[in-house]
Amino acid sequence: MEWTDDGIVLGVKRHGESSVILELMTHDHGRHLGLVRGGTSARQRGVLQPGNALRATWRARLDEHLGNYTVEELNLRAADFLGAAHAVHGVTHLAALCRLLAEREPHAAIYEALEAILDHLNEPHLAATMIARFELDLLAELGFGLDLTSCAATGATSDLIYVSPRSGRAVSREAGEPYRDRLLRLPAFLHGETEPQSPRDLADAFALTGFFLDRHAFAPRGLALPEARAHFVAAVSRASQ
Amino acid sequence: MPAAAGPEIERLIQLLARLPGLGPRSARRAALFLIKKREAIMAPLAAALQNAIEKIEVCRTCGNIDTQNPCTVCADPRRDGSAIVVVADVADLWALERAHAINARYHVLGGTLSPLDGVGPDDLSIDALVERASDPDVKEVVLALSATVDGQSTAHYITDLLHEANVKVTRLAHGVPVGGELDYLDEGTLAAAMRSRTPF
């Protein structure tokens, strides 16, 4: 078995003295692990940092084997964001999100979204906007997509400002007003082409996606929301001030 | 297949094979060497190991390992008590000491935050660091952590926690190593070095 694909490093785990198990988010082969011999060397350590883009060749005798990776660097962007708190926490959080996906299942759209976010990770406001949308996309990819196209109560397609925590469907201002304390706020940028208007919009977006990620993705696996997510949101908030 | 040596020797080989850098074959060579030099090497080594087991302690102040508690570094009055150098591991502390890089005190975290390895803030000696940094005599905390995503995540996390403490938080520079030729450096290091350029 052998294939070559572009991938983004999600993490490495030391294996023995000189090798590492590399976890990549690849374009055509999804989240895929493999052994990198000599992965702890000074040269390879810099290449195998989360967020870096690589071209990886995976080889194994049988498909179900862990297999061996040989990698060459495409974009060593990790060095660019080590100095920014929101960026290092952001990339850690993105890796944790990608780990929710089953191994070896292709998710080309997720890969492309991840690549786009990493290219803008140094811009806190833009990165936060993209990550909030990424969380929605990931929920949909996991089969728990929210329906933000029309009001769950009236069918209205405009003035959608709430989401029902029970159904995950949008609720219009008028229909949601009596239940506003029990509904989640839906910032316009999550269902339109607009950009967040205020830090409050971003906070509302992360509260919304966090609620559903916790309920559908993390809690059923016995996990808490990643700490890196809270650190990322806090760092973006500081950067916006 | 019958064993070539008695159980005691096999046990010695098995234990030596667990050491970093040694596999079964090199452990066998090391064991044979020790057996041949029983009086000259093996007996003093066994005594040194026994002595180390009995005397080595983890410093209650900084997390360094030493045969005294507080450790030699913490007990040294000539050390600059106004700066704490934060390192991930004792090996990093030793590396800085070998380089005579700074005459300050240290704090060993015991690792870096690593979600993949399940290492969270509670697994590291971060609370003790925050407590030490709140001492009015401490003016600077130097984050000497790896230039990796995990290392810098830890650095940013600690920086946030030290926000309330009245200390200057600094980190090591990232860039061109001594003897490094630009042509052979990776793009990431070069970019970081260019961003951190200083007046000359």
Pairwise CB contact (< 8 Å): A83 & B152: yes
Pairwise CB contact (< 8 Å): B186 & A73: yes
Q: In residues, how long is chain B?
A: 200
Please report the pLDDT score of residue B163 as a whole number: 87
Using a 10 angstrom Cβ sphere, with 0-12 exposed, 13-18 middle and 19 or more buried, the burial of residue B119 is middle
Rounded distance between C-alpha atoms, residue B93 and residue B108, angstroms: 8
Among A18, A52, A77, A82, pick the best mutation site for testing chain B contact (most B Cβ within 10 A). A82
Please report the pLDDT score of residue B3 as a whole number: 65
Pairwise CB contact (< 8 Å): A47 & B186: yes
How confident is the model over B69-79, as a mean pLDDT? 94
- Tens of pLDDT, residue by residue over A98-127, are 999 999 999 999 999 999 999 999 899 999
Instruction: Find all residues with CB under 8 Å of A232, minimum gap 6, and list them.
Output: A86, A89, A90, A92, A93, A128, A131
CA angle A148, A151, A157 (to 5 degrees): 80
Q: In residues, how long is chain A?
A: 241
E strands, chain A, in order: 2-15, 19-26, 30-36, 53-59, 68-75, 160-163, 170-172, 184-185
Residue found by looking up tokens 């980190």 in the block: B171
List of domains in chain A: 2-76 (2.40.50.140), 83-148+186-240 (no CATH)
What are the contacts of A18-26 at 24+ separation with CB within 8 A?
A: A20/A44, A20/A48, A21/A66, A22/A48, A22/A56, A22/A69, A22/A71, A23/A95, A23/A99, A23/B116, A24/A54, A24/A56, A24/A69, A25/A98, A25/A107, A25/A110, A25/A111, A25/A114, A26/A56, A26/A111
Pairwise CB contact (< 8 Å): A226 & B159: no
Pull the structure tokens for residue B136: 């009015």
Query: Residue B49, CB half-sphere, CA atoms under 13 Å: how many?
Result: 6
Give residue B179's identity as a one-letter amino acid code.
G
DSSP code at position A67:
-
Residue A70's beta-bridge partner residues?
A: A57
Pairwise CB contact (< 8 Å): B147 & A80: no
Please report the pLDDT score of residue A22 as a whole number: 97
Rounded distance between C-alpha atoms, residue A116 and residue A126, angstroms: 11
Please report the pLDDT score of residue A195 as a whole number: 81
Please report the pLDDT score of residue B175 as a whole number: 87
Instruction: Name the strand (E) or helix (H) holding A146.
Output: none
Rounded distance between C-alpha atoms, residue A185 and residue B128, angstroms: 40
The CATH superfamily of B7-55 is: RecR Domain 1 (1.10.8.420)
Pairwise CB contact (< 8 Å): B159 & A85: yes
How confident is the model over B2-18, as a mean pLDDT? 86
Rounded distance between C-alpha atoms, residue B30 and residue B35, angstroms: 9
Residue found by looking up tokens 């995540």 in the block: B153
Banded model confidence at residue A87, pLDDT cuts 50, 70, 90: very high
Please report the pLDDT score of residue B32 as a whole number: 95
Q: How far is CA B133 from CA B88, B108, B154, B160, B167, in A?
A: 17, 13, 16, 13, 7
Residues on chain B bordering chain A, Cβ-to-Cβ distance under 8 angstroms: 20-21, 115-117, 120-121, 147-149, 152-153, 156-157, 159-160, 174, 186-189, 191-192, 195
Is it the case that residue A211 has pLDDT exceeding 70? yes
Q: How far is CA A19 from CA A6, A12, A55, A95, A175, in A?
A: 21, 10, 18, 21, 58
Is it the case that residue A241 has pLDDT exceeding 80? no
Is it the case that residue B1 has pLDDT exceeding 60? no
Pairwise CB contact (< 8 Å): B21 & A17: yes
Please report the pLDDT score of residue A42 as a whole number: 82
Q: Looking at the complex, does the CB of residue A76 fall below 8 Å from at least one CB of chain B?
A: yes
Please report the pLDDT score of residue A191 as a whole number: 85
Mean pLDDT computed over every residue of chain B: 92
Pairwise CB contact (< 8 Å): B160 & A96: no
Pull the structure tokens for residue A62: 């049988």
- pTM strictly above 0.90: no
Rounded distance between C-alpha atoms, residue A116 and residue A90, angstroms: 13
Residue-wise burial string across A183-210, b where 16 or more C-beta atoms lie within 10 A, e elsewhere: bbbbbbbbbeeeebeeeebbbbbbebbb
Query: Residue A164, CB half-sphere, CA atoms under 13 Å: how many?
Result: 15
- Residue of chain A whose alpha carbon sits nearest to that of B114: A92
Among B22, B143, B152, B163, pick the best mutation site for testing chain A contact (most A Cβ within 10 A). B152
Q: Are A172 and A153 in contact (CB under 8 A)?
A: yes
- Residue of chain A whose alpha carbon sits nearest to that of B173: A83
Q: Are B56 and B98 in contact (CB under 8 A)?
A: no
Per DSSP bridges, beta strands B104-108 and A160-163 are unpaired
Is it the case that residue A196 has pLDDT exceeding 80? no
Please report the pLDDT score of residue B2 as a whole number: 54
- Tens of pLDDT, residue by residue over A63-81, are 999 999 999 999 988 988 8
Please report the pLDDT score of residue B156 as a whole number: 94
Rounded distance between C-alpha atoms, residue A205 and residue A232, angstroms: 14
Banded model confidence at residue A85, pLDDT cuts 50, 70, 90: very high
Instruction: Name the strand (E) or helix (H) holding B82.
Output: strand B80-87
Find residues 55-74 of chain A whose CB sits inside 8 Å of chain B: 73
What are the boundaries of each domain within chain B?
Answer: 7-55, 65-171
Instruction: Find all residues with CB under 8 Å of B90, minimum gap 6, and list them.
Output: B63, B64, B65, B108
Mean pLDDT computed over every residue of chain A: 93
Q: Are B103 and B142 in contact (CB under 8 A)?
A: no
Domain B65-171 matching CATH 2.40.240.10: the answer reads: no
Is it the case that residue A227 has pLDDT exceeding 60? yes
Please report the pLDDT score of residue B111 as a whole number: 95
Residue found by looking up tokens 């607009």 in the block: A194
